[in-house]
Each structure stands twice: as C-alpha cells, then as structure tokens.
C-alpha cells in the first residue's frame, strides 16, 4: 500500500481504537462530547490527506502499469480498481465517523451508537477490498523487480 494509504488506514484504526468499544451508547456519546475538538481536528486532517493519497496512488499505479507484463495489463487494472474502491470506502467510513462527531449534540444517543457500530462492522471489509491491490502489487513488483530489493524480497505472491 502506498504510504498515504497506510497513513489513512492508521488514522482510521486509531479512531476506532480510541473510541469506546461500542457496547454502551452513553459511553460513546460521553467520549465524543469530551473530545469533540480533538476528533474534529483528526477528521479535518484526515480529509485533507485524501488528495495526497490519490496522488501517491496514481504514482504507484503508473509504475505498476508500465511494469505489468500480464495480458491486457490485467494485474495493474486489478490493482487500480481495488485501490479506488478501497480509498472510496475509507472516505465513506471517515465520513460516518465525522457524522458521529458532528451529530453528537443534535441526534439521539442511539443514532450515534448505530453509526459507531456501522463503522466497526464495515471496517472488516477493508482487508478484502485491498487484498487484490496488494496481490497484484506484489506480483508485478516481484516479476519486474520494480521496487527496491529489500521490498521485493518481502513480497511473496
């Protein structure tokens, strides 16, 4: 995964880790109210990182496409498709987390709790969405010796 994607995923994971576990609507609402400014700052910085994410992904995609020897560049197209869907999905999940922050004083505690549960359940899909990208990336990189030897040595499709 490109560095910007990794940063976005890490920020999302951090948001999931610092929030309460989701068992109690009151605990989630209390946490979001207490740390509202911090959470708004995290969400703002995260959304500002998406243009950098898209740019870095385009750089990686162009390298993969140029090095791809599969028929019709199928592997690089698989990587691009998987990457686009993964980044879009992360953006949606960050939007849902931001809705929690913005709605905490305007919505019922049950709504805030439901949005938190939606994020937790949906986060499990990120691995499946990004797996085709990672496999295509590893395969192309290994075949073309595209990236530094220390990275290619770690890749084993």
The larger pLDDT score, comparing residue 32 to residue 66, is at 66
Chain-centre distance for alpha carbon 29: 24
Q: Residue 23 contacts by C-beta under 8 Å, 6 or more apart in sequence?
A: none
Mean pLDDT, all residues of the chain: 83
CA distances from 110 to 16, 20, 36, 56, 93 (A): 18, 14, 18, 38, 18
Least confident among 7-16, 80-89, 139-148 = 7-16
- Helix intervals (H) in 19-145: 25-34, 36-67, 74-103, 109-123, 125-144
- What are the domain boundaries of the chain? 2-20+28-145
Q: What percent of the chain has pLDDT over 70?
A: 82
- State the pLDDT at residue 138: 87
Task: Give just the sign of the alpha carbon dihedral 6, 9, 50, 67.
Answer: positive
Please determine, for residue 72, whether its predicted confidence score (pLDDT) is greater than 70: yes
What average pLDDT does the segment 123-141 reach?
88
- State the pLDDT at residue 17: 67
Torsion of CA 73, 76, 81, 84, to 10 degrees: -140
What average pLDDT does the segment 51-78 reach?
93
Please determine, for residue 10, whether its predicted confidence score (pLDDT) is greater than 80: no
Supply the pTM of this predicted model.
Answer: 0.74
Q: Residue 58 contacts by C-beta under 8 Å, 6 or more apart in sequence?
A: none
- State the pLDDT at residue 78: 95
Q: Give the highest mean pLDDT range of 21-30, 62-71, 116-125.
A: 62-71
């Amino acid at each position: 995964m490109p560095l910007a994607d990794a940063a976005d995923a890490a920020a999302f994971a951090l948001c999931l880790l610092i929030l309460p576990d989701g068992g109690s609507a009151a605990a989630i609402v209390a946490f979001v109210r207490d740390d509202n400014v911090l959470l708004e700052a995290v969400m703002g910085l995260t959304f500002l990182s998406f243009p950098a994410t898209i740019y870095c992904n385009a750089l990686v995609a162009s390298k993969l496409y140029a090095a791809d020897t599969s028929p019709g560049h199928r592997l690089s197209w698989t990587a691009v498709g998987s990457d686009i869907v993964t980044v879009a999905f992360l953006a949606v999940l960050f939007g849902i987390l931001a809705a929690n922050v913005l709605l905490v004083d305007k919505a019922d505690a049950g709504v805030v709790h439901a949005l938190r549960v939606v994020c937790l359940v949906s986060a499990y899909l990120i691995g499946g969405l990004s797996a085709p990208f990672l496999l295509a990336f590893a395969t192309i990189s290994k075949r073309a010796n595209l990236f530094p030897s220390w990275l290619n040595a770690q890749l084993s499709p």
